[in-house]
Amino acid sequence: MSGRQEAEDYDSPVSASSPSKAGVAETPPLMRVIPQRDGRFLLEPLTPKKNYNVTTGPTSQLDQKKNEAAPGGRGYHLYEPWSFQELILSLAKGYQGARYSRGGNFDTGYATDCSGFVQYIYNGFQIKLPRSSAEQAQVGKTVTHTMDFSKLVPGDLLFFRRGGRGIGHAGIYLGEGKMIHASNHRNGVIITDLRQGYYQDTFVVAKRVFEVTYPK
């Protein structure tokens, strides 16, 4: 199946007044992630600049994994190898095969569109994103405007144009040249190889919406 067939269904059309028509804006990452020595993650919002209560992120997977024995009888050391990125990707992969529904997200049922999927996954880690892919592309740190896998890290957000109408599709980078996304009514949530010409040709920008700072 071609990339075009995979991604034939997109977000709501981008209006002529959309900021994506004039270019992609940039903000700092939305969240600083600080792994803690008890195996949890401290989430520190970076934008907007307000006073926040710092809270701990989802820990259920860590609580389970850190009690398992690693090879050689050694317990997994704190937050390794269970990185924050791996928690995000694990949650996203859990929705493989979910149905596609334009305008849908998992808050209202077991069906979603591309930006609803991205928003839902990151909301689970207290990273609040806008609803549409065009709006999501305006936040976070710009990583690259070309499909350069050497610059991407798992968890980066990828945005693609819809014909001549601006940004209309979004996915989450998994690493190794692949992304997970809500593709279309036929395929639902799937993992796609980004080396396909369609995605190379329609790629607009990659954004990073969190940064990981390890304690010294």
Beta strands in 109-177 (DSSP E): 111-112, 141-144, 157-161, 167-175
Q: How far apart are CA 31 and CA 45, in angstroms?
A: 4
Any catalytic annotation for residue 169? yes
Q: Is the pTM of this model over 0.75?
A: no
Q: In the prediction, which pLDDT does 32 show?
A: 82
Q: Specify the amino acid at residue 55.
A: T
Residues 36 and 125: their CA atoms lie apart, in Å, by 16
- Residue 185: active-site member: no
Q: How confident is the model at residue 7 (pLDDT cuts 50, 70, 90)?
A: low
**Contact of 29 with 46, CB cutoff 8 Å:** yes
Q: Is 98 helix (H, G, I), strand (E, B) or coil?
A: coil
More confident residue, 46 or 161: 161
Domain 3-212 -> CATH class: alpha beta
Domain ranges of the chain: 3-212
Per-residue pLDDT averaged across 9-34, rounded? 60
Answer yes or no: 145 catalytic.
no
pLDDT (tens digit, 9 = 90+) per residue, 157-210? Answer: 999 998 777 999 999 999 999 999 999 999 999 999 999 999 999 999 999 999
